Structure 1
């Protein structure tokens, strides 16, 4: 059956923490459309967090399931090709995680469960087909993250109705990270990395504009500074060397950097408690990244 650690490796725990930060950011945005006098619906918030753990975990497990043959030649140390986890066990784990994600979303409401269903579908499309193509791969992975932000925003139906388009920003960001990741094994090319840097800059501009328009103001927009300092330097170095190791580091910072980006979303919405709560996920994700591979 394999070891527990091997199955945890399949789930990418450090990445799952970043998915939880998506929910906190989405809820922070949603709270803009909830009466000030209303109390926080903690059961709904917890259910959304559990849902994203299941949905994201299931998605990355099936990613390795579909990539087992390729990993056998390119990354034989991974749990499935190394035999530390079984194919049957991995499929069962992925299906169970998806089920947990769906049930938890159902506890929140119809909109949440429909978004959860869309996430499952998009994860499987990416894992099985889309990631093998230069255009559809980044787009499909980005849509998974955009839908995850929408899952957090499902905390308020009015937020979904009014600012659903904000989910396009994570699509742009993850498209950038996915483009960078194509050079993880054999090294990269400068133009795709430059393109990703441009997408990063667009994301920064979008969140800053949101913060200036809504309640976050200049201080909320300024919360982007930790994000910029975290994701740009590794990318610049990767553009200089084009080495697979530097590209892998840039991808790692891009994934974990989602925590800083989501903290910026929460601050831009003026929800500072949620912004600081999101930042607290960073040491947890960083610690997990030392124990389990991010990519």
Structure 2
């Protein structure tokens, strides 16, 4: 029984589900200036359902490819049947929509757009740069789902730009995880990380109401984060191989949580930043147990 549960946890990439939660928390905190209530639970659960649905449907659509390149995955290994996986993916998506509409009509429509993006990426536009943009759009919409805790505004759309750039680079790099044939992807990923940095700086100067020591602290945190991530990417450039790329992908997927916490801290919401960063240990421990993110 326990082994069966592990197979399903691997199917949905359970450790990375915490990154969906951090997106919702970060977006809602930034858009409400930290004025949250327990109704946020609807959006948190909806987000996790959408994320797990997306990961499950990804493996359903990639079944034939995984038979050749990732035979240990739950579906090609036979530990989870393809038909059951389709049912799980569709069911989770429906539950996510129900929870979104239960929160508000606006959240429901954002959830519906997220479903379209998930299906579009998994079934239609997965390869190349456009595929990377499509995956980034899924994360962008997940951020907007968190922002829909209140009415969406221009700021809502701007505040999600860093995560869009970050996920674009991550996804484009992940296309090399089995072959490591095109080293130029490192430069593109570095470019997207710089966009993440500069767009975060733009938000700091134009959207976040912090001044004095808080402003300088925010710039310092952003600089430290940028140096750490770019240095990690530099090491991948030096030892460009499927193994090093896979490690970088795990680092960056889990790194969504520190990025969310960074943006919240830059806006001066330090307690919420600590709450978000507290999602990091369980994410790492669960991934160590399951080895399920990639």
Q: TM-score, normalised by structure 2?
A: 0.92
Provide the C-alpha distance between the structure 2 equivalents of 1:227 and 1:50, rounded to a whole number of angstroms: 28
Provide the C-alpha distance between the structure 2 equivalents of 1:268 and 1:155, rounded to a whole number of angstroms: 20
For residues 202-260 of structure 1, give each alpha carbon's deviation from its aligned partner in whole angstroms, at most 9, with x where no partner exists. Answer: 10121123123322422234333563355333321111121110011111111111101
CA root-mean-square deviation: 1.9
1:256-275 correspondence runs (5 A): 256-275=254-273
For residues 118-153 of structure 1, give each alpha carbon's deviation from its aligned partner in whole angstroms, at most 9, with x where no partner exists. Answer: 11110111011211x212210000000000111110
Provide the C-alpha distance between the structure 2 equivalents of 1:270 and 1:188, rounded to a whole number of angstroms: 42
Q: 199-208 or 227-236: which moved more?
A: 227-236
Match of 1:41 in 2: 37
Match of 2:14 in 1: 13
Work out which of the residue numbers 189, 198, 216 in structure 2 matches 1:196.
189
Q: Contact 1:142 / 1:171 at 8 angstroms: preserved in 2?
A: yes
For residues 160-179 of structure 1, give each alpha carbon's deviation from its aligned partner in whole angstroms, at most 9, with x where no partner exists. Answer: 34432332322211110011
Q: 221-230 or 185-194: which moved more?
A: 221-230
Q: TM-score, normalised by structure 1?
A: 0.92
Q: Contact 2:159 / 2:203 at 8 angstroms: preserved in 1?
A: no
Provide the C-alpha distance between the structure 2 equivalents of 1:176 and 1:108, rounded to a whole number of angstroms: 32
Structure 1 runs not aligned, ≥5 long: none
Q: Contact 2:161 / 2:196 at 8 angstroms: preserved in 1?
A: no
Match of 2:293 in 1: 294
Structure 2 runs not aligned, ≥5 long: none
Q: Contact 1:223 / 1:263 at 8 angstroms: preserved in 2?
A: no
